[in-house]
Amino acid sequence: MSKILTQHPQGKKGVNIDIQKYEIIKEFIIKNLEENGEMTYEKLNELAIVELKGKFEGSIPWYFVTVKLDLEARNIIERIPKTSPHKIKII
């Protein structure tokens, strides 16, 4: 089973997660942001839970936040400053 070491936008230590689970969440986040433009973190997370339930082993919210932070650290998506609730978009 291949793993990926995730990154953190604030330089904190990342975690090793299964690459297949990483790719599922990454593709979900990018696809939805491309289709909808900027979205709140909460809305995107809820959508992930609904769409991936039954197709994904493990805690969807935990993997979601881990991959989201990694994508921020890699400058693929960004958290929009001064938005409440916080919004994210593709860079």
Task: Count other C-beta atoms under 10 Å from residue 61's C-beta.
Answer: 12
Q: Average pLDDT, stretch 4-13?
A: 96
Paired residues of 77 in beta bridges: 90
Q: Which secondary structure element, helix H or strand E, spans residue 18, and what is its range? A: strand 16-18
CB 41 within 8 A of CB 87: yes
CATH code, 49: 1.10.10.10
> pLDDT tens digit string along 29-86?
999 999 999 999 999 999 999 999 999 999 999 999 999 999 999 999 999 999 999 9
pLDDT at 12: 96
pLDDT at 27: 98
CB 46 within 8 A of CB 52: no
- Give the separation between CA 62 and CA 49, rounded to whole angstroms: 11
User: pLDDT grade, residue 1 (50/70/90)?
Assistant: confident
**What domain count does the chain have?**
1
Residue range of the domain that includes 26: 3-90
Sign of the dihedral through C-alpha 14, 10, 50, 88: negative
Question: What token pair was written down for 78?
Answer: 């960004």
Does pTM surpass 0.75? yes
